[in-house]
Structure formats: C-alpha cells, structure tokens
Structure 1
Amino acid sequence: MSDHWSPAAVEQLCYENVTGSCVKTPYSPGPRVLLYGVFVLGAVLAVLGNLLVMISILHFKQLHSPTNFLIASLACADFLVGVTVMPFSMVRSVESCWYFGRSFCTFHTCCDVAFCYSSLFHLCCISIDRYIAVTDPLVYPTKFTVSVSGMCVSISWILPLVYSGAVFYTGAYDDGLEELSSAVNCVGGCQTVVNQNWVLIDFLSFFIPTLVMVILYSNIFLVARQQAKKIESTGGKTQSSSDSYKSRVAKRERKAAKTLGVTVVAFTISWLPYSIDSLIDAFMGFITPAYIYEICCWGAYYNSAVNPLIYALFYPWFRKAIKVIVSGQVFQDSSASMNLFSDQR
C-alpha cells in the first residue's frame, strides 16, 4: 500500500487526555474523503434499496408469496446491517477509533454477527424453496406454503440472535485470550478477538449452509437444463394444455431460481474472503494487517447493498414497483392491487 493511502505517521490518540487511550492513525485528507464517500454510498444503498424491496413486497398484493416473504425478510436483515452496523463501522474504519462507548461496541458486534448470519440462513431457506419449485413445480404450492415460509423466517432470525447474544454478552468468544483482548480494546477501540474454537464454529456455520446452497443450485441448474432440452425436443409437436401449462410454470420457476442463484453467488463472493481471513488469523496469531481486515469486512458489508441491485437488474416487477413508490402512486387506494407483471400466466 502506498504512502498516499497509508495512515498518517504522526502519532495521535483517540482521546488525548485519557489514560490508556488507543493510538489514532487517521488517513490523509484525500483518501479519507474517498473512503467516507465509498462507505456512505454502501450504507445508503443498503438502507434505501432494501427498504424499497420490503415496501414493494409487503404493499403489492400480487407479490404476496412464500418466496417473496423470505426475500422481504432477507431485505430486512440487510436493511438493519445498513442502519445499525455500517455507519458506525465506517467511522471506526476511517478514523481508526471507536467513539461510541464499550457497551455499544458489544451491541454493534452482536448486530453485525446476527444480521449477517440471518442473511445466510434466509438464503439457505430460499435455495431450498427454489429447489422444490424447479424440481416439482406443480406440487410446490402445496409443499412450500406461507406457514412454512413463516417458520423459515422465524428460524432465520431466532438462531442468529440467540447465538450472537450468547457468545458476545457472556464473553465466551475471548476465553484464553483475555490479555490480548484487553490490549487491543484500549479506550477508543472496538476490536473483537475471537478464540480458535469460536472462529472454527463461525467458519463451519458459514461453510455448511453455503455448501448446501451450492449443491442445491447445482441440482437446480441440472434439472433446468433437462427441462429446457425436453421443451426443445417437443417444440414442433402439439402440446396438450396441461403440458403447456407445466412448461410455462417450469420456465417461470427456472427464471426465479437463476436470479436468486446470482444472489447466492454474490453473497459467497462477498463473505468468503472475510471467513477465510478470520480462520487463518485465529490460527496464525492474528497477523492480518488492519487495512486487509477492513477490506474483508467492507466486502462483506457491501453484500447488503448488492441484493437490491440484483433484483432491479433481473426483476422487471421490482423496477415497476420502484417507479410506483418513488412517483407517489403507492399512496393511491388502488395501488396495492396494481398489476406489476407484463403478462398473466
């Protein structure tokens, strides 16, 4: 990293008149403004983009489906990352100091872990939903109902919240590393030092659901390919109305699976560097430079801003919903029943 991007060499303290204050290593003015711009953009996209997703799905009756309720809940988790995590992490990353108190540091860390794992669990549930929809599209509505979707949403919120609260409010995460944790968390610091056992659990909690998603989506695309070939082979033949209906349903479900598959790939790419770095760091004596750690963190945070952009790119109904919301038509009594699809199939 060049001197232009490296923190300033003159030693400063986060709190000049406080004993035990952390050393402050702020960036020079140019990179500092640029970093704030990049981080603010990420936070704004995460908040506004996911808010639009939630409003769209909850307001328009045509979008009320088990899958979309999962997507709305996923957007809620990403929205909360943008509200409770990214703004404060932005100040910590650029200023190299934590100005929000030790109690809020613990709360912030809990929110960080809980909401990010909630996103992962939501995506895992969505991949199961898409697998059933593509492999058995006609029976799917009876298998994945609103109540099943609600159960998935509950699990995707309760487990991460209980896990993060139990780990960080009991202090179990730094057992055996108390001296290092005390040294790192000087006055003005908010760095979480996690021991090897919990890092390994965290990695497996990320790796296993991700592996499940990769396997399911691999099977989804294999089935989709077989269905496409079957439709092509019968293209010149007269299809019965039931076969034609089945083909249309299968095509629609494959398209939805493709879009959500892109979302899973984006999540994996965003979070894999952070997960691998955390695992290596814990077993190699915490050797990762601070700027590398921050890059990995913000790569993961930015995933919360990416999902709405994916929906806007692949879902015409979402683009139409945004126009209705932004133009104010959403306040009209009839807007909830508006047709957001170009065709009715």
Structure 2
Amino acid sequence: MDFRMNSSQAQIVDNTPLCYEFLNRSCPKLVYPLFLRVPLYLFFSSVVILTVLGNLFVIITIFHFKQLHMPTNYLVLSLAVTDLLLGVIYMPPCMVQSVETCWYLGHLFCKIYNNSGIMLCTASILNLSFISIDRYYAVCHPLLYHNKITSFVTFLMIFICWTVSTVVGFGIIFLEINLLGVEEFYHEHVACEGGCVLFQRLCAFPQW
C-alpha cells in the first residue's frame, strides 16, 4: 500500500506543469483555462492603459498651461511621472507574470523589474508625503506658505524623493541587501528557473 501511495505521489509530481520542461530546478506553473486568461488580460490591459493615459494627460496639462507652473503642481507632476513609469515599465510584466504564473524575461530583467517596482512605489509614497507637507502649510499656515514652500524647496523635495527611491531600489535588488544572511536558503529553497520573486528576509525577534 505504501508503494502505491509513493508511486501515485511521484506521478502527480511528474505531471505538474513546469515553466521550463527541460531545465533543472524549474518553477511549477499554474495553467489558467482560456476562458479565464482572456478576461484577465483584458482587465489588466485596460488598467494599464487607463494608468498611462490618465497620468500622461496630467503631465501634458501641467507642461502646456503656464498658469499651472507653481510649486504644488511640480509635486503633482513628479507623482504623475512616477505613476506613468509604473504603468509603462512595471505593470505590463506584472500582468504577464500574474496570468502566465511564470517569468520568461530573464534574470537581469527580473532584477530591473523588481528594482523599478520598489523604486517607483517608494517615489510615489514620498511624493504623496511631500504633497501632504505642501498642503499642510497652504491650509494651516497660509501667510507663511509662499516663504516656506518656494520653487527651490519643491525641487529639493523632488530631488530627495527620486534619490532616496533610487538608492533604496538599487540597494535592495542589485546589492542584494534583502538576502544578507539567507543567501544559501534562498538559492536552495526559493530560487528556481522561471520565477521572479522579491524575497524579503524576516527578522526574528527574541521572545522575553
């Protein structure tokens, strides 16, 4: 009876779809039926198109109308550029990976993909934080607003936003800071051909 169970389990493992059938350490693949894949592609594609067109419209509007050239709108412009890049660079590969459940674009582009995701999400958060600071001074300290939030201060905020985001994304992905201390575990139990995951090392806190 044990022999039958083992052979059936081996048969299930052998019949599991893989991202690369003829490569060792290939990731397992989840195959969605066609009636699910088509609606998923249509939905994700519409989200990508709306994201790109919406943020492109904001960017063109701010550039075109000179009356919109003010510190607050520079921050809004930076946020729109961030979301536009998310729609152009990050979301299409994410769509394909979500539906196909495999990564076919190579190891280097996987790093670029993860780096851009971390960098742009960080930039989006920082842009929103700086916009909140701008709105705080505009609402709570209107008399000091034009002295505090100048064009120079706004450009400094944008510079800090993109510099910090780039350093964070590059450090985590290309310098592999997220793998410090767990490199062996990652390469033996997580990494596989056809996969592109952002591995985060969990910190263990002592129990008192």
- Are 1:81 and 2:86 an aligned pair? yes
- Are 1:61 and 2:66 an aligned pair? yes
Deviation at 1:179, TM superposition (A): 3.9
Deviation at 1:41, TM superposition (A): 1.5
* Alignment correspondent of 2:37: 32
1:33, 1:76 → 2: CA distance? 30
Deviations 1:287-320 (A, max 9, x none): xxxxxxxxxxxxxxxxxxxxxxxxxxxxxxxxxx
8 A contact 1:25–1:96 mirrored in 2: yes
2:91, 2:185 → 1: CA distance? 26
Change in 2 beyond 3 A, CA 1:188/1:92: same
Deviation at 1:18, TM superposition (A): 2.1
* Alignment correspondent of 1:192: 198
1:15, 1:119 → 2: CA distance? 35
1:63, 1:181 → 2: CA distance? 49
* Alignment correspondent of 2:147: 142
2:185, 2:93 → 1: CA distance? 23
Deviation at 1:126, TM superposition (A): 0.5
Deviations 1:269-291 (A, max 9, x none): xxxxxxxxxxxxx99xxxxxxxx
Equivalent residue pairs, number: 190
Per the alignment, in what secondary structure is the counterpart of residue 73 of structure 2? helix
Deviation at 1:69, TM superposition (A): 0.5
Mapping of residues 71-220 of structure 1, within 5 Å: 71-182=76-187, 183-197=189-203
2:161, 2:102 → 1: CA distance? 32
1:167, 1:139 → 2: CA distance? 39
Deviations 1:12-60 (A, max 9, x none): 1212222222111121112211221221112111111111111111111
8 A contact 1:65–1:146 mirrored in 2: yes
Aligned-pair identity in percent equals 43
Query: Which runs of no fewer than 5 residues in structure 2 stay unpaired?
Result: 1-14
Question: Highest relative contact order (Cα 8 Å, sep 6+), 1 or 2?
Answer: 2
Aligned to 2:56, which of 51, 69, 75? 51
The TM-score with structure 1 as length reference comes to: 0.53
2:164, 2:144 → 1: CA distance? 29
Superposition CA RMSD, Å? 1.6
Mapping of residues 222-261 of structure 1, within 5 Å: none
Q: Which amino acid aligns with 2:133?
A: I
Deviations 1:146-187 (A, max 9, x none): 111100110110001011101211112022333442232211
1:194, 1:178 → 2: CA distance? 11
Mapping of residues 240-319 of structure 1, within 5 Å: none
Q: Which amino acid aligns with 1:71?
A: V
2:175, 2:144 → 1: CA distance? 46
The TM-score with structure 2 as length reference comes to: 0.86
Deviations 1:68-119 (A, max 9, x none): 0100000101111111111001111111100000011111101000000100
Per the alignment, in what secondary structure is the counterpart of residue 199 of structure 2? coil
Per the alignment, in what secondary structure is the counterpart of residue 143 of structure 2? coil
